[in-house]
Structure 1
């Protein structure tokens, strides 16, 4: 088996693991930012909840339904952003967007970890919206939080 095929197999396994055993699935007790988003083209729906404390994402959880790509991406994203400063979470989202567009990206200070398994999605334009749904929800929630803080 070629290295490329081995990587594809490994990435598929990582995606399916997050789909079958999602991390951070559920709801946050108490106050949290809530963002509902959907992808009408394939029926993916997500509600992302985040608690932001002292400029950091203290907690992130999601509920929803959809394809393996959207739900595994939500699982990976919530894992990756927990504990990050809001600014870093938004930078990571930018890196992820570049990766989905097939652009060269530099991880910089970030270890993409399992998120890298989603890079193959860039080859399937119809699935990019699935992979980015949770990330767009995070950006929307953090932007709304920023707007409220500046009022």
Structure 2
């Protein structure tokens, strides 16, 4: 039996995250919260962050929408949980570059590379980027709260 095509492996990974989302649901005491909606198709993502000493200690998401938007959010939380805020911003930039600019996937993206195929479907790019845009807003809020706390 031959190996399935690479695209099939990625499609299976995205469907797995859609069917069995990781880190799904709100956090009990988030440090920052953000939400976003794609008005074209109605995709909706809510994202909670728990930041501890500059690290994403926990993330939770919920919402509704297509398999790509929901899988992208699940993959985001799985990839960034336990990572420094700066790394989260860096990964978000690499995902955006891959989807919007057609940049080859950075090896550091790991399973997020599965989203590369979405770049071939321009109408679906916004679906895949929704969670990442919401993440950037939540990170802005977390940074502002931390700065306010320091400068009281």
- Normalised TM-score (structure 2): 0.90
Partner of 2:54: 55
Query: Structure 1 residues 37 and 87 mapped into 2: Cα distance closer, same or farther (>3 Å)?
Result: same
What does residue 143 of structure 2 align with? 146
- Give SS of 2:5's match: helix
> How many Å apart are 1:113 and its aligned residue?
2.4
SS in 2 for 1:24: coil
The reply to whether residue 71 of structure 1 matches residue 95 of structure 2 is: no
Q: Does 1:132 align with 2:133?
A: no
Q: Does 1:81 align with 2:80?
A: yes
- Selected match of 1:119 from 105, 116, 120: 116
Q: Which runs of 5+ in 1 are unaligned?
A: none
Change (3 A) 1:52 1:129: same
Cα distance in 1, alignment partners of residues 103 and 62 from structure 2: 30
Structure 1 runs (4+) greater than 3 angstroms displaced: 104-107
- Residue 41 of structure 2 corresponds to 42
Deviation at 1:147, TM superposition (A): 2.4
Q: How far apart, CA to CA, are the structure 1 residues paired with 2:98 and 2:106?
A: 9
Alpha-carbon distance, 1:2 to partner:
9.3
TM-score (norm 1): 0.91
Which residue of the partner structure matches residue 104 of structure 2?
A: 104
C-alpha distance in structure 2 between counterparts of 1:145 and 1:105, whole Å? 28
CA distance in 1, matches of 2:106, 2:70: 25
> Match of 1:12, SS?
helix
For 2:46 and 2:39, how far apart are their aligned partners in 1?
15
The aligned length equals: 147
